[in-house]
Copies of this chain bind each other. A is one copy, B any other.
């Protein structure tokens, strides 16, 4: 089973280490305890939405950038091919309608 908290933790740790910052520095900037941040990075604790936002702020990385990397990692683990959902001009009308109204339904499923 792909666990979201593990992927989030890996991405947050990568971002911090790329910046050459310590757990202490980032936890202080995010106003979370060092132990909490460490557990989040190791995928041992679910980050609440508020604290995830705070950690992204402390890293000066938009949450959507973190989530995009998380999404790509999850897709790789799942073996999901993330193709753009845009509807080509040549798609028949009934199929295009289905795609436009139900982008999530069956998307990425062979």
Contacts and interface: CB of A to CB of B under 8 A. Distances in A.
A103 interface: yes
Interface residues of A, number: 45
A74 B82 contact: no
A11 B105 CA distance: 12
B64 A3 contact: no
A106 B60 contact: yes
Interface of A: 1-6, 11, 14-15, 18-19, 46, 48-50, 52-53, 59-72, 74-75, 78, 80, 82, 101-109
Given A15-B105, A19-B105, A64-B75, 5 more contacts: A15-B104, A46-B49, A60-B109, A67-B74, A68-B75
